[in-house]
Amino acid sequence: MTRVAAFLIMLVAIAVANPILEKVYISEFQTSPDSLERIELRPELDPSRYPFEIGGAQIVTNAGTATVDSGVCFETWNSLVVIDSTNTTGTFSLGDDSDYIRLYVPCDNDTLSFSVRYPGNPHWTSAGSWVPPMDASASLYSWDVYIPPYEDPLTLYTWYIDRTPTFGAGNDDYGGGIWGGVFDQDTQAISGATVRVMSAYGTSTMQTGEPWWYGPSSFEQRPTGPGTFTVTAECPGYLPYTYPESIELAPNEGREIYIFLDPVGGTEEAAGKALCVGLHQRGRTLVLTANQPGTALVTVHDNLGRVMVSEKVALVSGSNQLALPRLSSGVYFAGCRFGEQTLNTKFVLY
């Protein structure tokens, strides 16, 4: 069975008596041989509709059609229903790569219908999700954003890899991700740059400055789930860029990165350009990413404010590493001072 990915489509149906917006989400899905293929559904229905029967619903893929057994239903507003071969008849298969899943749910004299397509893009602005590896699942994460002057929140959605599947319970592994900013070599923000976060699970494509509440240089893919990711960037008028190292993320781990683009035709370093540094943790190492050679003062404090490390680092262009072999397990705070600028980050050693 080829690993697959999917994305939610919110449902809209018109009830016979009163028009009601009906939504059903795919909250989590897993593709594995036989009975471990499963889809978790989460409803958002009018409160008067519970319990809501989904027996008789059809799951249609390129492999065939399965029908959900009678008696399967959403009991309450926070019900999660797991669909697999044990509560369906017919052909329950999520299909192979580049296939589809379509569900048809009877509702009064109408039908709630939705489809999922894969492979796709996990970022919330497009219809797709990561491709889950066989020992994991793809899970849905949502959050509310309040945009003045509107009082009601806008709910956004994105997919992530979940190493500890939680079918029938709330999803986990949803912390962390990859985010940051894109700048030119004079540290001016670049809006409209295309940033791609790529892994064996798929590719997420973003534009800096979108959505509209981010800063002009900002991008983010949160969450991603664990894995190894490559980040690239491109923008008209600038040379293509690849972040100088693969980004390895553990479950719920995040990484902030800074990208500096060179202009097309620029063959020499711009005189007097500012030193820009990114700072993050990788295991027992602090990694400093610089856009040019320079010097930075790195300090590390423990959670009582005691200075544990204070060291000047001669930076080269690209990735620089500062090992932390003597520190015991615990929570620490790192500061990186270069010129008049300071970066700070919190990290945990195990």
pLDDT digits (tens, 9 = 90+) for 16-65: 333 345 777 888 988 876 668 899 998 888 888 899 999 999 988 888 89
**What's the whole-number mean pLDDT along residues 159-166?**
92
pLDDT digits (tens, 9 = 90+) for 215-257: 788 998 989 999 999 899 999 999 888 887 788 899 999 888 8
Q: Where are the alpha helices (DSSP H) in 72-200?
A: none
CATH 2.60.40.1120 domain locations along the chain = 175-274
For the sheet with 330-338, list strands across it.
307-315, 294-302, 330-338, 341-349
- Name which of 308, 292, 26 is nearest 139 in CA terms: 26
Q: Please state, in angstroms and as integers, the Cα–Cα distance from residue 232 to each residue in 195, 203, 226, following that order.
A: 6, 11, 19
- Name which of 175, 181, 185 is nearest 214 in CA terms: 181
**What's the whole-number mean pLDDT along residues 252-269?**
78
- Name which of 296, 300, 344, 290 is nearest 325 in CA terms: 300
How far apart (Å, rounded) are the C-alpha atoms in residues 256 and 196?
A: 14
How far apart (Å, rounded) are the C-alpha atoms in residues 38 and 29?
A: 6
Assigned CATH topology for domain 275-350? Immunoglobulin-like (2.60.40)
CATH 2.60.40.2550 domain locations along the chain = 275-350
In the structure, what pLDDT confidence band is assigned to residue 75 with cuts at 50, 70 and 90?
Answer: very high
pTM of full prediction above 0.85: no
Contact, 13 vs 104, CB < 8 A? no
Assigned CATH topology for domain 175-274? Immunoglobulin-like (2.60.40)
pLDDT digits (tens, 9 = 90+) for 138-150: 898 987 777 667 6
- Using DSSP's 3-state secondary structure scheme, residue 35 falls into helix
How many percent of the chain have pLDDT more than 90? 23
Contact, 332 vs 281, CB < 8 A? no
